[in-house]
Amino acid sequence: MSANTSMVTEFLLLGFSHLADLQGLLFSVFLTIYLLTVAGNFLIVVLVSTDAALQSPMYFFLRTLSALEIGYTSVTVPLLLHHLLTGRRHISRSGCALQMFFFLFFGATECCLLAAMAYDRYAAICEPLRYPLLLSHRVCLQLAGSAWACGVLVGLGHTPFIFSLPFCGPNTIPQFFCEIQPVLQLVCGDTSLNELQIILATALLILCPFGLILGSYGRILVTIFRIPSVAGRRKAFSTCSSHLIVVSLFYGTALFIYIRPKASYDPATDPLVSLFYAVVTPILNPIIYSLRNTEVKAALKRTIQKTVPMEI
């Protein structure tokens, strides 16, 4: 078995190779999406860092999320663009492991960060008098740091474990990046115990933050319904709606992909789901938060007015 372990030294990422006539179009589409994703999220980072009106804990977490999304999409899309442009779809075993580590790292960090953002909304709506104490700058740093640390632990916990298993052929991955489920299907021998361990660990990672989010929004809804005025309820809910949309998009696809056995992996539909949460979701976040947030739009307007002075 130790000899077989070294047999597979590289993997073949099929991605969208079956769409041979659309490689140029796909390259243009994904390049546009990637550039818009990086530009949109970078703009939010700049706005929150420079505008005095966006210095609350909510925007601290939004800036962290935007920086995270830049890294998250950069793990997969540049390599996909390279494959579409050159037609070379091979990735070394170490390169595959590195990509899986960073994808898990950013994904796990986002899971925890979304839970921290839900706690921020809970404190702002349910505990407004204690909000400055509950979400002080030190607490915000601790929550963000804990999210990043969780990402490191998940990446280090899964990646070396998976790539210590024997791969003795075939080496074809029906995905455009090295995702856990399709890579596990290439492991030689019985991997049911390994698969169970990964599912349990992933379920713990996803369901615990998701449970905290549900608990926070349960309390938030109770508090909102107690507000006597309709305008007050609408204003309170508007501060949470953007976060709820992002949570639904991210956790919906993550639960579909990871909380199930590898035997149920469908190479025809699952890459499309992975495409949605790995490529599409990062570009939706700045759109959702900017279009639905008057303070962000006002900050953008102020920045444009400073950068491009009005002609007299």
Q: Dump pLDDT digits (tens) for 224-234.
A: 888 888 877 77
pLDDT on residue 260: 60
pTM: 0.87
Q: Dump pLDDT digits (tens) for 46-64.
A: 999 988 888 899 899 999 9
**Largest Cα–Cα distance in the chain?**
77
- Cα distance between residue 196 and residue 187, in whole Å: 14
User: Which whole number is the average pLDDT over 191-215?
Assistant: 78
| Architecture of the domain delimited by 10-305 | Up-down Bundle (1.20)
Exposure letters 246-258 (e unless 16+ CB within 10 A, then b): bbebbbebbeebb
Q: In what order do the strands lie in the sheet with 90-92?
A: 90-92, 10-13, 172-173
Using a pLDDT cut of 90, give the percent of the chain over it.
Answer: 33
**260: which 2 tokens?**
């199930």
User: Which whole number is the average pLDDT over 149-166?
Assistant: 88
pLDDT on residue 263: 56
Query: Any bridge partners for residue 92, and if so which?
Result: 10
10: part of which helix (H) or strand (E)? strand 10-13
- Comparing C-alpha atoms, which of 14, 176, 11 is closest to residue 81? 176
> In the predicted model, is pLDDT for residue 99 greater than 90?
yes
pLDDT on residue 234: 79
Q: Look over the chain and give the mean of its residue pLDDT values, rounded to a whole number.
A: 84
pLDDT on residue 299: 83
**257: which 2 tokens?**
């992909």
- Cα distance between residue 212 and residue 198, in whole Å: 21
- Cα distance between residue 248 and residue 15, in whole Å: 26
> In the predicted model, is pLDDT for residue 269 greater than 70?
no
Confidence of residue 261 (pLDDT cuts 50, 70, 90): low
User: Which whole number is the average pLDDT over 149-156?
Assistant: 92
